Amino acid sequence: MKIAARVALIILALLCGGIFLYSAWTKVLPIQPFEYTMVEYLHFPWLLASVMARLMVGLEATLGGLLILHLFGKGKMVLKTAIALLVAFSVYLLWLWATAGNDVNCGCFGDAIWMSPSASLIKNAILAAVLVLLLKYHHGFEFRYSSRVTTVLFFVGVVLPFALFPMSSQQPNWLKKGSYKIDFSDLYRPIVDDSAALKVPYPKTPEIDVAHGKHVIAFLSPTCEHCRIAARKMALMKRADTSLPFFMIIGGIASDLTDFWKYTNARNIPYMRLHREPFLRYTGGVFPLIVWVNDGTVEAKSTYNTLNQSELKKWAYAK
């Protein structure tokens, strides 16, 4: 009977560790959506969200790895920390449920598994109950220097994501010598063609004059994961400052945008659709393409990592 109980405790530790590791893994595929969740729901500044995202991933992964290795540390520090983390996550989930409702993805498993706050609370309660059992009845793997080894592994694991997923400098690529004019005529030129291929109508022209003034124009494919991440970040920045001059050009006018809008929540950004051929001419087949345009001249390029709200505001209002 004692052997069966011990085996059961070992299996429970492995399962808990696996869930913690999987949770950390899904948050880094890539890590930016986890950052955006903190910006959107916790209203963290962008820099703080970047730091906290890596810290949480490191903490989850480290706790998961130590649980699998059955290294619980002095006074079973690993188990107590894991329980405390679940309590902290549960407080956040209750707040999210109260403020945003239950029909949102809490981000506990990134975008890999959509999970509502209520479902995640149930998951956390089960994990916490298992961890309490382990805390009370399981001693883990102990040897002469096990506590020291556990402590070292803990701190190394927590800081490792900062090395594996370095934070961007958040500076756009300024084209001081390589700035170039961009021809927007394809956005306004109707296609004259009697072929059957043009049963899909040509999209409307932009509602704003992108050839004049300052605009940050993002060429996005609705099915591209990185394009969706870029649009989601732009939407968050636009909600924080409605004056930011974002404009989206979304390739492929026949594709449905329902999933794109659901993920990005970017309906607050002006946009237009564009046929595949001119879209590929602008992007060269590489997207997202985010360009900072001043009176038709591309002065800088960004990725979603280097799209910085304060830099953009300074540029937009500079004379």
Phi, psi angles (nearest 5°) of residue 55:
-65, -45
pLDDT at 3 over 90: no
| Domain end call among 140, 164, 188 | 164
Q: What's the confidence (pLDDT) of residue 194?
A: 45
Q: What's the confidence (pLDDT) of residue 180?
A: 87
pTM of the model: 0.85
Length of the chain: 319
Residues 5-17 have a mean pLDDT of: 93
pLDDT at 140 over 70: yes
Alpha carbon separation from 295 to 17, 109, 210, 216 (Å, rounded): 55, 43, 8, 11
Cα 27 from Cα 111, distance rounded (Å): 8
- Residue 73 and residue 9 share a domain: yes
95-98 long-range CB contacts below 8 Å, 24 or more apart? 96/41, 97/121
Residues 36-57 have a mean pLDDT of: 93
Q: Are strands 289-294 and 214-220 parallel, antiparallel or unpaired?
A: antiparallel
- Residue 196 and residue 101 share a domain: no
DSSP 229-283: HHHHHHHHHHHH-TTS-EEEEEE-SSS--HHHHHHH--TTS-EEEE-HHHHHHHH
For residue 9 the two structure tokens come to 């405790």
- Residue 156 and residue 61 share a domain: yes
DSSP 10-54: HHHHHHHHHHHHHHHHHTTTTSHHHHHHHHHHH---HHHHHHHHH
**In which band, very low, low, confident or very high, does the pLDDT at 95 lie, cut at 50, 70 and 90?**
very high
For residue 200 the two structure tokens come to 């899909």
Instruction: Say if CB 289 and CB 226 are below 8 A apart.
Output: no
Give bridge partners of residue 248 from the DSSP assignment.
218, 271
Evaluated on CA atoms 67, 70, 73, 77, the torsion sign reads positive
- Residue 266 and residue 140 share a domain: no
- Residue 69 and residue 43 share a domain: yes
pLDDT at 162 over 80: yes
pLDDT at 288 over 70: yes
- Residue 157 and residue 179 share a domain: no
Residue 304 burial by CB count (10 A; 0-12/13-18/19+): exposed, middle or buried?
Answer: buried
- Residue 222 and residue 143 share a domain: no
| Domain end call among 106, 131, 164 | 164
pLDDT at 191 over 90: no
CB atoms within 10 A of CB 287: 20
- Residue 269 and residue 179 share a domain: yes
* DSSP type of residue 294: E
Phi, psi angles (nearest 5°) of residue 230:
-65, -45
- Residue 235 and residue 104 share a domain: no
Question: Per-residue pLDDT tens for 47-81?
Answer: 999 999 999 999 999 999 999 999 999 999 999 99
- Residue 196 and residue 69 share a domain: no
Cα 224 from Cα 218, distance rounded (Å): 13
Structural domain harbouring 63: 2-164
- Residue 191 and residue 253 share a domain: yes
- Residue 144 and residue 237 share a domain: no
User: In this structure, what CATH number is given to the domain that contains residue 232?
Assistant: 3.40.30.10
Instruction: Tally the domains of the chain.
Output: 2
For residue 161 the two structure tokens come to 């994501």
Q: What's the confidence (pLDDT) of residue 192?
A: 47
Cα 274 from Cα 253, distance rounded (Å): 6
